[in-house]
Amino acid sequence: MLAFLKNSPSKKQITWIKVIVFLVCLIPLLRLVWLGFADNLTANPIEFIERSTGFWALFILLATISLTPIRLLTGRVWQIQLRRMLGLFMFFYVCLHIITYVWLDFAFDWLDITKDIAKHPRILVGFAAFLLTVPLALTSSNSMMKRLRERWKQLHQMVYIVAILAIVHFWWLVKKDIREPLLYACILMVLFGIRIYYKYMKNHKSINSTQINNL
């Protein structure tokens, strides 16, 4: 077991890991379907589905963002191969979240939806986060990666902005009990902090080495 953690998994093992992660990512959806058929979605089922899909979108988003810090901390790289699938699952739950809002919550009443977005900063921020995930999902293929090259990296760093907007969207939803959004904000700060730290260290080291070379 430990050896498995130490060494990079083989190609075959990676395939299996991907299958397992794929199935695990489907559990939140299957749970909703199950609870729906059991008529067990609480007194306010629409709110429950909105909360649930929103939570899992944010959770998977944070999981996606954590892959690079894991590489920086441990030097392992194989987990990066899960990034696209996790990112797309995040987008999948975001879409379910939006569909629930537009269809079940507002019954396609576009006038009311427009008013809701315009008048409530909480909804506006969430809507902005959704809009930013669309180009990320559209450019997730290998061919787009090749086509965009360096710009692809820049574009996909936008995921941090999506995360910030999503957490603000959640923060403004809770009336007074901010513990949960605060927790996600802390996680995001730690993940971002690790990246900043390594970036700074790398620059620092390179500056040092050039200084040594100059001497």
Partner 1 sequence: MIIQTKSDIFPSEITPKSVFDNRREFIQKAGFGLIAGAAGLLSNPLKAATVSSGTTEGAGRLIGRANTQAIIKPQSFGAHQKISGYSKTTYGAGEKLTAYEDITTYNNYYEFGTDKDEPAKNSRLFKPYPWTVSIEGEVKKNKTISIEDIYKLAPLEERIYRMRCVEGWSMVIPWIGLPLAQLIKWAEPNSNAKYVEFVSLADKQQMPGQNLQVLDWPYTEGLRMDEAMNPLTIMAVGLYGEQLPNQNGAPMRLVTPWKYGFKGAKAIVKIRFVEKMPVSSWMKAGPNEYGFYANVNPNVEHPRWTQSSEKRIGGGLFAGRIKTQMFNGYTEQVGQMYAGMDLRKNF
Q: Given the complex with partner 1, which of 174 and 189 has the nearer CB atom?
A: 174
Which is closer to partner 1, CB of 84 or CB of 122? 122
Q: Does 204 bind partner 1 (CB under 8 A)?
A: no
Question: CB-wise, 112 or 210, nearer to partner 1?
Answer: 112
Q: How far apart are CA 32 and CA 34, in angstroms?
A: 5
Structure tokens at 149: 């090259």
CB of 107: closest distance to partner 1 in angstroms? Answer: 4
**Binding test (CB under 8 A) with partner 1, winner from 45, 137, 140, 148:** 45
* Identity at 154, one-letter amino acid code: Q
Nearest to 54 by CA among 126, 162, 2: 126
Q: Which residues contact 188 (CB under 8 A, 6 or more apart)?
A: 62, 65, 160, 163, 164, 167
Contact between 1 and partner 1 by CB under 8 A: the answer reads no
Q: CB under 8 A: which stretch of 5-13, 37-45, 55-63, 141-149 binds partner 1?
A: 37-45
- Quote the least distance from Cβ 39 to partner 1, whole Å: 9
Of 55, 78, 106, 171, the one binding partner 1 (CB under 8 A) is 106
d(CA 76, CA 63): 16
Structure tokens at 21: 């992660």
At 66, list the tokens. Answer: 């954590």
Q: Is residue 40 within the footprint of partner 1 (CB under 8 A)? A: no
Confirm if 171 and 180 have CB atoms less than 8 A apart. Answer: no
Write the DSSP symbol of residue 5: H
Q: Judge whether 32 and 52 are in contact, CB under 8 Å.
A: yes
171 sits near partner 1 (criterion: CB under 8 A): no
Q: Does 120 bind partner 1 (CB under 8 A)?
A: yes
**Distance between CA atoms of residues 123 and 70, nearest Å:** 32
Nearer to partner 1, 47 or 88 (CB): 47
Please tell me the distance from the alpha carbon of residue 91 to that of residue 97, in angstroms, as a whole number.
Answer: 10
Q: Cβ closer to partner 1: 45 or 69? A: 45
The verdict on 119 binding partner 1 (CB under 8 A) reads yes
Nearer to partner 1, 47 or 185 (CB): 47
Would you tell me which residues interact with partner 1 (CB under 8 A)?
Answer: 36, 42-47, 104-107, 109, 112, 115-116, 119-122, 172-177
